[in-house]
Amino acid sequence: MEVKGIMIVMKFGGTSVGDFERIKNVASIIKSNLNENPVIVVSALGGVTDNLISIANLSLTEDEVRAIFNKIIEKHHTTIEKLNIDEKIIQEDINRLNELVNKIITVKKTTSQDMDLLMSFGERMSSKILASYLSAIGIKALPYNAYDIGMITNSNFGNADILPYTYQKLKKNLSSVINKGVVPVITGFIGKSKDGSITTLGRGGSDYTASIIGAAMGASEIQIWTDVDGILTADPKIVKTAKSIDVVSYEEASELALSGAKVLHPKTILPAIEKNIPVRILNTFNPSHKGTLVLNRTAEKSRVVSITYKKHIVVISLSNRSMLKNELLKAASGVLSSNGIFEYSISASESSVSITIDEKEHTPALISDLKKIGNVESSINGVKVSIVGNDISFIPKISDLISSSLKGIKIEIMPSSESNINHSIVVTERQANSAVKRLHTAFFS
Ligand code: ASP
Give the pLDDT means over successive 10-residue stretches in the chain (445 positions): 85 97 98 96 98 95 97 98 98 98 94 97 98 98 98 97 96 95 98 98 96 97 96 96 96 91 87 96 97 87 94 93 91 94 83 90 95 93 93 90 93 70 91 97 94
CB of 203 within 6 A of ligand 1: the answer is: yes
pTM over 0.85: yes
- Which region, left, alpha or beta, applies to residue 320 given φ > 0 means left and ψ of -120 to 50 means alpha? beta
User: How many structural domains compose the chain?
Assistant: 2
SS3 412: strand
The number of the ligand 1 atom at minimal distance from the alpha carbon of 201 is 5
- Look up the CATH number of the domain holding residue 372: 3.30.2130.10
Are residues 167 and 51 part of one domain? yes
- Which region, left, alpha or beta, applies to residue 37 given φ > 0 means left and ψ of -120 to 50 means alpha? left
d(CA 51, CA 71): 9
Q: Strand 422-428: give its sheet, edge to edge.
A: 345-348, 352-358, 306-319, 375-388, 422-428, 411-413
Identify the domain boundary among 226, 245, 278: 226
Tell whether 298 is covered by a domain. Answer: no
Q: What is the dihedral of CA 298, 299, 302, 306, to 10 degrees?
A: -50
Name the strand (E) or helix (H) holding 255: helix 250-258
d(CA 345, CA 347): 7
Are residues 135 and 30 part of one domain? yes
d(CA 391, CA 232): 19
**Amino acid identity at 397:** K
The number of the ligand 1 atom at minimal distance from the alpha carbon of 123 is 1
Tell whether 139 is covered by a domain. Answer: yes
Tell whether 324 is covered by a domain. Answer: yes
SS3 297: coil
Tell whether 388 is covered by a domain. Answer: yes
CB of 166 within 6 A of ligand 1: the answer is: no
Tell whether 247 is covered by a domain. Answer: no
Q: What pLDDT, on a 0 to 100 scale, did the predictor assign at position 415?
A: 57
Q: What pLDDT, on a 0 to 100 scale, did the predictor assign at position 44?
A: 98
**How long a stretch of residues is the chain?**
445
Tell whether 45 is covered by a domain. Answer: yes
Q: What are phi and psi of 221, to 5 degrees?
A: -160, 145
d(CA 267, CA 156): 15
Are residues 122 and 12 part of one domain? yes
d(CA 10, CA 369): 46
d(CA 425, CA 88): 53
CB of 122 within 6 A of ligand 1: the answer is: yes
| Number of CB atoms found within 10 A of residue 138's CB | 8
The DSSP 8-state label assigned to residue 393 in this structure reads: G
CA of 206 to the centre of ligand 1 (A): 6
CB of 206 within 6 A of ligand 1: the answer is: yes
Q: What pLDDT, on a 0 to 100 scale, did the predictor assign at position 300?
A: 75
CB of 159 within 6 A of ligand 1: the answer is: no
Full residue range of the structural domain in which residue 362 is found: 303-444
Tell whether 258 is covered by a domain. Answer: no
- Look up the CATH number of the domain holding residue 26: 3.40.1160.10
Q: Where are the alpha helices (DSSP H) in 180-313?
A: 206-217, 250-258, 269-275
| 8 A C-beta contact, residue 82 and residue 114 | no
CB of 13 within 6 A of ligand 1: the answer is: yes
Sign, CA dihedral 81-87-89-93, equals: positive
Cα 1 from chain centre:
31
Are residues 309 and 221 part of one domain? no
Distances (CA, A) of 163 to 155, 217, 272, 364: 10, 16, 17, 35
Q: What pLDDT, on a 0 to 100 scale, did the predictor assign at position 237?
A: 94
Are residues 315 and 199 part of one domain? no
d(CA 285, CA 226): 8
SS3 314: strand
Are residues 207 and 311 part of one domain? no
Q: Strand 198-200: give its sheet, edge to edge.
A: 152-153, 190-193, 198-200
Q: What pLDDT, on a 0 to 100 scale, did the predictor assign at position 304?
A: 96
CA of 155 to the centre of ligand 1 (A): 19
Identify the domain boundary among 200, 226, 252: 226
Contacts within 8 Å (CB) and 24+ apart, 419-422: 419/345, 419/393, 420/390, 420/391, 420/392, 420/393, 420/394, 421/251, 421/252, 421/255, 421/388, 421/389, 421/390, 421/391, 421/392, 422/255, 422/259, 422/386, 422/387, 422/388, 422/392
Are residues 323 and 412 part of one domain? yes
Q: What pLDDT, on a 0 to 100 scale, did the predictor assign at position 160?
A: 97
Ligand 1 pocket: which of 22, 72, 206, 211 to mutate (most atoms within 8 A of CB): 206
Q: What pLDDT, on a 0 to 100 scale, did the predictor assign at position 22?
A: 98
Are residues 333 and 214 part of one domain? no
Protein residue with least CA distance to atom 5, ligand 1:
204
Are residues 191 and 314 part of one domain? no
Q: What are phi and psi of 386, to 5 degrees?
A: -120, 140
| 8 A C-beta contact, residue 390 and residue 426 | no
| 8 A C-beta contact, residue 317 and residue 353 | yes
Are residues 188 and 45 part of one domain? yes
Q: What pLDDT, on a 0 to 100 scale, did the predictor assign at position 381?
A: 85
Identify the domain boundary among 176, 205, 226: 226
SS3 150: coil
Tell whether 291 is covered by a domain. Answer: no
| 8 A C-beta contact, residue 424 and residue 349 | no
Cα first-last separation, the chain: 51
Q: How many CA atoms within 13 Å lie on the side-chain side of 339?
A: 21
Largest CA distance in the chain: 75
CB of 72 within 6 A of ligand 1: the answer is: no
Are residues 327 and 215 part of one domain? no
Q: Smallest Cα–Cα separation from 119: which of 104, 99, 94, 97?
A: 97
Ligand 1 pocket: which of 43, 187, 227 to mutate (most atoms within 8 A of CB): 43
d(CA 441, CA 445): 5
